[in-house]
Amino acid sequence: MDTNKSHGMKARQLILFDRPGSGRPQPGRSGPGRSQPGRPVHRRPQHSLPGKPLSGRSWHCMPSGFIALFVVLFLAMSALPTLSTLHAQPCPQFPATCPDLRDNPGSADDSVSRLNNPVLPCEIAMENRLRHWAGALVNDIARKEGWDVAEIYEALSSGYRDDDYSVLAYDKRPAHWSRMVWQFVVDRDSLRAWRRWLEDFGQRRLDQTHQYTARLNDRQGAIQAYMDSAGYWGGQMSKYMNDHIAQYQKDLVAGNKAGISAYEKGMAVYRNKQNNFINKAADLQKDPQAGKDNTNADAESNANSLRFSDASTVIIEFDFNGDLAETGGSKRVAPSGSSPAVRWYSIAEPDLLNNVNYYTHSHNMALWMIGGWNPQANQFGGYAASWAADRTNRKGVTIKKIKCDKLQNFYVRVSGNAAAMRRILADLPAGDMEKMVIRQ
């Protein structure tokens, strides 16, 4: 894991086809060595059938036997990932988010490797201390509530160098940033139901692939007949061209418009006949049922993935010394009994394909900011850290009043099952969290 916030063939052999077409990203952290961290996309399984075949104008050339084999393999392979993945589950939480972590975060070997970034030992100690605190906290909550929990992601700030590329001095370094993410499985029955639905969904898509292949095979004789006819008229066009090309070239040199026009009209007759049969073959490859299957599958996949995710999981994110707390959706009234420090949001259209922000995977989100934050949201709905308002605090030039390995602010962001979110937030030690930060 990146730890930086970083053809001529004979016409009868041809089948001409068109290849089936298949929140804003989080701003990069500012300051030297703080590029946006990457992480794999959290994708739901995609199983597409070619619902819109092939217009003769834009086709590529392929042998008829090959295209039939290509279609069969392409469609079958498109449905297989769901089934094969289910039989060899990549993690116990599957199909919820699986961990994306380097080996043994916080271990001695991991800590030593971080020194090359270049991160100071005291900054690594800070990361380890905060990881231990957050890990103990979420595990305590999981035990109390009878849930499962696992860390799924980390992003850690890289270090800083001076203008001469030496490691920047301790007292000039900006606040050291880290982000750690855990996932609770709060309803095992919903998770199991998610797996059962996904396996059934994959099987249905594979069955639709076989049905499409059967329909295409049923039409292969007629398609080949049309392509044979197209090949015949292509051959006649070639013969006409060979028989008349010498005279055509003389007419071009002499500027004989009548002769030129006669040749071109003769060629057009054969070309139009050839294209007519190519288009007839193309029409036979159209499959409205496949298009309908695709549309229905997309809708089902979106709806059920979100429904099961929101029922079975909660993701909790800890962002320490961050310069921005992002939000999504629109504010909503906090549930009864909720801490006034927590801001609640509804996300009307969650995005399971967002490859940066976990909270966009759910309809529900809550944000709790601890320490110094601007109480007024920016134009995008995010909140800026107080320490970052002074530009000198973001650069490695001046002596810092509060040193890099001190915690000046952090936020806790939770998303997923709304009822479980309320329980988690109620379990967080508000007073202890406030004591963790050093204020300007």
pLDDT digits (tens, 9 = 90+) for 409-439: 999 999 999 999 999 999 999 999 999 999 8
Report pLDDT for 18. Answer: 28
Q: How far is CA 2 from the centre of its chain?
A: 17
For residue 105, what are its two tokens?
A: 């975060």
Tell me 361's DSSP state: G
Nearest CA-CA partner of 335 in 411, 428, 425, 413: 425
5 vs 260 pLDDT, higher one: 260
Is the pLDDT confidence value at 235 over 80?
Answer: yes
CA dist., res. 326 & res. 322, Å (int): 10
Q: How confident is the model at residue 86, as a pLDDT?
A: 52
DSSP 398: S
Give the residues across from 195 on adjacent strands.
none
Q: CA triplet 228, 229, 233: central angle to 5 degrees?
A: 120
Beta bridge partners of 161: 167
Query: What is the average pLDDT across 122-149?
Result: 97
Q: Does pLDDT of 67 surpass 60? A: no
**Residue predicted with more confidence, 397 or 81:** 397
Is residue 414 a contact partner of residue 421, using CB atoms and an 8 Å limit? yes
The span from the CA of 61 to the CA of 11, in Å, is 10
Q: Which residues are CB-neighbours of 69 under 8 A, at least 6 positions away?
A: none
- DSSP per residue, 48-92: ----S---GGGPEEEEHHHHHHHHHHHHHHHHHHHHHHHHT-SST
Q: What is the pLDDT of residue 406?
A: 97
Q: What is the mean pLDDT of the chain?
A: 81
Which residue has tokens 């750690």? 180
Q: What is the mean pLDDT of residues 11-37?
A: 30
Residue 73 has pLDDT above 70, yes or no: no
Distance CA 145, CA 135 (A): 15
Could you report the per-residue pLDDT of 181-222, keeping only the tens digit for each? 999 999 999 999 999 999 999 999 999 989 988 988 888 888
The pLDDT of residue 104:
85
- Eight-class DSSP state of 21: P
Across residues 118-132, what is the average pLDDT?
A: 96
- Cβ distance 383 to 377 under 8 Å? yes
What does the domain layout of the chain look like in residue ranges?
A: 11-88+196-299, 108-188+310-435
Given this model, what pLDDT does residue 154 score? 95
Q: What is the pLDDT of residue 138?
A: 98
Q: Which residue has the higher pLDDT, 4 or 300?
A: 300
Residue 290 is predicted with a pLDDT of: 83
* pLDDT attached to residue 65: 40
Q: What is the mean pLDDT of residues 161-177?
A: 94
Helix 418-427 with 121-145: angle, nearest 10 deg: 120
pLDDT confidence bin for 88, thresholds 50/70/90: low
**Percent above pLDDT 90 for the chain:** 59
